[in-house]
Structure 1
Amino acid sequence: MELATKPEVNVKQPGVKQRQLLRTIRSQKWLLLFVAPAVVLTFVFSYLPMFGNIIAFQDYDIVKGFFGSPFVGFKHFKELFQDPHSLLVIKNTVILSTCNLIFTFPAPILLALLLNELRSMVFKRTVQTISYLPHFISWVIILGFYKEMTSLDGGLFNEIKMYLYGGEPVMFQAKAGWFLPVVVISNIWKEIGWNTIIFLAALSGIDEQLYEAAAIDGAGKLKRVLHITLPGILPTIMILLILSLSHIFGTNFDQVYNLINVHIQDKVDVLETYVFTEGIEKARFPFATAVGLFQGVISFILVVVSNKLSKKFTEISIW
């Protein structure tokens, strides 16, 4: 007696794929409903404005609009690479972003490893809470405190300096050499705790039996960290590193803009503040758009290249 077999469904038949898609949509309708607002907002505020990049190739006139303004090709891009100040801005952005990456990226990993070794849960949670609270403080407030501490009239730095060494107060905010250390240190202080949460979550997924087996074999804490902990969180590290590399040509506008002043702007200007100055203050919309488009293209290339290299050498990628 032969058993009846279910006839195979040919997915190439007309309407089969459409019916499967409709069934999937019906079964996941509530999930799709929750996701819909995020998709709409992303489209409206991230993808739709990309059409505005067309003015980077135009002598844009706000009266004539997109379709009436004449096309000038790569005129504004040539100006970007021929202007000495523009090249200085690009250099400043790369230096600042690279220093931020070198010093800021490893900091939460180190803090997560240290917190993971604590046995007192009360102390661990207290340190974690204190370290991530600055993330919720505005850069305006943080750098407002810095300006008060370095002011000529009663600033803490000048009071300590005059008490120890005497002499006249120093205008620290007018010294370009202070800019880079202040940006990096303030960024570490503000974000180290928040980013630590991600690595602590990754650490919680490592099997405790691996540590027990390593301890039985005589491995010390350092060897356990090197051979179990770090390999265990390597996928998380690589994914965040790939995403961080996209910011090599970008900085935090809120942080930098609130720290720059007229005394040092020509020396420490970065792409974000340069776009704001040229586009908003000077109303040079086509040139500012060209700078922003150049920055976006380079960031995209960096993400693709770093993802390819990560996939080749570590078999970890974001897509």
Structure 2
Amino acid sequence: MKKVEKKRKITLKNTWPLHLMLLPGVLVLFTYTILPFFGNIMAFENFQPVLGFFKSKWVGLDNFRYMFMLPDTFKIFRNTLVIAVGKIVFNLVMSVFFAVLLYEMSGKRFKKTVQTICFLPHFLSWVILAMIFRDILDGSGIINMALMKLGIIDEAIVFLGNNKLFQGIIVGTDVWKEFGYGAIIFIAALAGINQELYEAASIDGASRLQKIWNITLPGIKVTVVLVATLNIANVLNAGFDQIYNLYSPIVYDTGDIIDTYVYRMSFESAQYSLATAIGLMKSVVSFLLIVTSNYLARKFANYRIF
């Protein structure tokens, strides 16, 4: 009989090199995530930088009551939801649409070229892209010039200064930037579809559109549901960097979101306690949405993190 090997006891003495490897990551996490968390105490104080956290006057939930009394509160939450939901829905639809089109293309080299071109904008900063879009959408930009040449408009449209157009521009430019990157997971899911199904459909005389509708889309249905449910957690993340670089006071009515409002309250108006209260409220709601999205993903797509 073979000797049964003794199970090695796991102790800090024989695993310290692994803990040492984790130490830099833990320090970064603690410095930039855990430590700033204690700053949320400002939401319950009338915070004065001169007095600091411990000497500022404690006001309890007064900042939250004041937050809900402000007319801007409903507006920023509404704008955040409209823009974030628009981004989630249209990014998902365009990503699936692009993945299916790419899957149906013939010619590997051409497919790779198209995918790479559509994939690249994801890596460009909104600081750079905002400058490009400002030039394109300017009164003397290429779009206005083209529309006037074609006789569609008589005078230039101020795209980034129009409250009716601003949200659509924000959603549209974000979709343009992200749909190529978002399609990667669907391209991977499409690669896992059994090719025999297509062969059987061809024998039965199915057209290409019928194959897409009855084989391709059902084949990635679980992945689409999973991505959609996990995206619920991002409902309150409308994209600070994009909006901050594109908006102006003229479009605050439709372009101001929670993150930009908190930024202005903190660094322009010095209302640190109110800004922290709004940010904390967003964090609590976001946490509930993350829990909900994980529950839905586990229920409908059999996906779990833990």
User: TM-score per shorter chain, which class?
Assistant: 0.7 to 0.9
**Deviation at residue 302 of structure 1 after TM alignment:** 1.1
| Counterpart code for 1:114 | L
**Deviation at residue 315 of structure 1 after TM alignment:** 2.9
Q: Which residue of 1 aligns with 2:89?
A: 102
**Deviation at residue 293 of structure 1 after TM alignment:** 0.9
Query: For the Cα contact (< 8 Å) 1:115–1:124, is it kept in 2?
Result: yes
Equivalent in 173, 183, 189 of residue 176 of structure 2: 189
Equivalent in 280, 283, 288 of residue 270 of structure 2: 283
Equivalent in 149, 158, 162 of residue 175 of structure 1: 162
CA distance in 1, matches of 2:129, 2:15: 47
CA distance in 2, matches of 1:284, 1:222: 57
CA distance in 1, matches of 2:189, 2:22: 25
1:159 aligns with 2:145: yes
Query: For the Cα contact (< 8 Å) 1:242–1:303, is it kept in 2?
Result: no
Q: Which residue of 2 aligns with 1:85?
A: 72
Query: For the Cα contact (< 8 Å) 1:238–1:316, is it kept in 2?
Result: no
CA distance in 2, matches of 1:146, 1:156: 10
Query: For the Cα contact (< 8 Å) 1:107–1:188, is it kept in 2?
Result: yes
Query: For the Cα contact (< 8 Å) 1:58–1:286, is it kept in 2?
Result: yes
Q: Alpha-carbon deviations, 1:87-122, whole Å to 9, x = none?
A: 111111111111111211221121111111222001
Q: Which residue of 1 aligns with 2:106?
A: 119
Q: Which residue of 2 aligns with 1:129?
A: 116
Q: Which residue of 1 aligns with 2:189?
A: 202
**Pair member with larger Rg:** 1
| Counterpart code for 1:311 | R
| CA pair 23-219 structure 1, distance change in 2 beyond 3 A | farther
CA distance in 1, matches of 2:128, 2:274: 32
Q: Alpha-carbon deviations, 1:212-265, whole Å to 9, x = none?
A: 455556655445445544454445434432332112112111111111112122
| Counterpart code for 1:265 | Y
Corresponding pairs, count: 305
CA distance in 1, matches of 2:146, 2:260: 32
Q: Alpha-carbon deviations, 1:50-80, whole Å to 9, x = none?
A: 1111111111121222222222111111111
Q: Which residue of 2 aligns with 1:148?
A: 135
Structure 2, unpaired ranges of 5+: none
In terms of mean alpha carbon deviation, does 308-317 or 105-114 score higher?
308-317
Query: For the Cα contact (< 8 Å) 2:262–2:279, is it kept in 1?
Result: yes
CA distance in 2, matches of 1:224, 1:99: 29
| CA pair 136-202 structure 1, distance change in 2 beyond 3 A | same
| Counterpart code for 1:72 | V
**Deviation at residue 176 of structure 1 after TM alignment:** 0.7
CA distance in 2, matches of 1:80, 1:175: 27
The TM-score with structure 2 as length reference comes to 0.87
Q: Which residue of 2 aligns with 1:13?
A: none
| Counterpart code for 1:90 | F
Query: For the Cα contact (< 8 Å) 2:186–2:223, is it kept in 1?
Result: yes
Q: Alpha-carbon deviations, 1:139-180, whole Å to 9, x = none?
A: 12222222222323x322332343315644333332111101
| Counterpart code for 2:82 | I
| CA pair 159-223 structure 1, distance change in 2 beyond 3 A | closer
Structure 1, unpaired ranges of 5+: 10-15
In terms of mean alpha carbon deviation, does 190-199 or 141-150 score higher?
141-150
In terms of mean alpha carbon deviation, does 140-149 or 236-245 score higher?
236-245
1:244 aligns with 2:231: yes
| Counterpart code for 1:186 | T
Q: Once superposed, what is the RMSD of the aligned Cα atoms?
A: 2.9
Query: For the Cα contact (< 8 Å) 2:91–2:182, is it kept in 1?
Result: no
**Deviation at residue 312 of structure 1 after TM alignment:** 2.7
1:270 aligns with 2:257: yes
| CA pair 22-88 structure 1, distance change in 2 beyond 3 A | same
| CA pair 21-117 structure 1, distance change in 2 beyond 3 A | farther
